[in-house]
Amino acid sequence: MSVNSHKWKPTFILIAVNVIVYLYAAVVGGSFLQIDYQIIVVFGQVNGLVLSGAYWQLFTSMFIHVNIAHLLGNMLFLLIFGLRAEKLFSLHEYLLIYLVGGLAGNLLSLFFMPLWVPSAGASGAIFGVFGAATVYVRRRIGQSIIGALAIAFLLLLLSSGPNVNNLAHIGGLVFGLFVGYVLAKKRKSMTEYSITYSY
């Protein structure tokens, strides 16, 4: 059993939340395959609206998806990277990485994306989880983080394309890499101290 085994699987809970939000938006908008544009404008991130006071969009946009393919793609990556991260981090650490990683991506988008282009999806948060897990594993086993950065850069390239918010990906990824590195360094130092003290 994992050291950080969780009674309630946070990855499954986050997937369930995303799916429930999608189903609700689909019912309200009248289409299961494509979410109504007006719903995306209200619950996604539109920088002009955020700057006018719709601050909730920085958080709700992490849980709203544009269409069924968008949802399924993100949930697949969340399942892959999330289950891995559950074995590395405590519940609070995991949720922090996910939520603040998504927020970091949205804040970066707020500063550099056009005012009236809607943005939505969990990919910034997922990139945060991916970045944290990747650098954490390599740092804990004493490997250079260059490999983790190379993998992260490759995934960024593979995920980029038209109508993709690369800024959200970058913001979440940078936050995840930072947190993963800090947690790995902290635990490695604690382990070394414990060994030295015991000796």
Structure tokens at 183: 């947690």
Average pLDDT over residues 37-43: 97
pLDDT for residue 194: 47
Identify the active-site residue in 61, 109, 119, 123: 123
Residues present in the chain in total: 199
Q: Burial level of 133, CB count in 10 A (0-12/13-18/19+)?
A: buried
For the chain, how long is the longest CA-to-CA vector?
67
Is 5 an annotated catalytic residue?
A: no
Q: Tell me the pLDDT tens digit for each residue of 54-70.
A: 999 999 999 999 999 99
Residue 20 pLDDT class (50, 70, 90 cuts): very high
Identify the active-site residue in 109, 169, 189, 198: 169
- Per DSSP, the three-state class of 69 is helix
- Kindly indicate whether the domain formed by 10-198 is annotated with CATH number 1.20.1540.10: yes
Integer Cα distance of 51 and 49 in angstroms? 5
Residue 100 bridge partners (DSSP): none
Average pLDDT over residues 2-14: 76
For the chain, give the mean pLDDT. Answer: 89
Is 169 an annotated catalytic residue?
A: yes
Q: Under a CB-based contact definition with an 8 Å cutoff, are residues 178 and 136 in contact?
A: no
Q: Tell me the pLDDT tens digit for each residue of 41-100.
A: 999 999 999 999 999 999 999 999 999 999 999 999 999 999 999 999 999 999 999 999
Structure tokens at 131: 């970045």
Residue 196 pLDDT class (50, 70, 90 cuts): very low
pLDDT for residue 47: 98
Q: In the chain, where are the structural domains located?
A: 10-198
Contacts of residues 1-9 at CB distance under 8 Å and 24 or more positions apart, as own/partner, are 2/86, 2/87, 3/87, 4/86, 4/87, 4/88, 4/89, 4/90, 4/91, 5/86, 5/87, 6/86, 6/91, 6/94, 9/83, 9/86
Please determine, for residue 1, whether its predicted confidence score (pLDDT) is greater than 80.
Answer: no
pLDDT for residue 17: 98
pLDDT for residue 152: 82
pLDDT for residue 93: 97
Average pLDDT over residues 4-14: 81
pLDDT for residue 28: 97
pLDDT for residue 127: 96
pTM for this model (two decimals): 0.88
Average pLDDT over residues 28-42: 97
pLDDT for residue 153: 84
pLDDT for residue 146: 80
Q: Under a CB-based contact definition with an 8 Å cutoff, are residues 127 and 174 in contact?
A: no
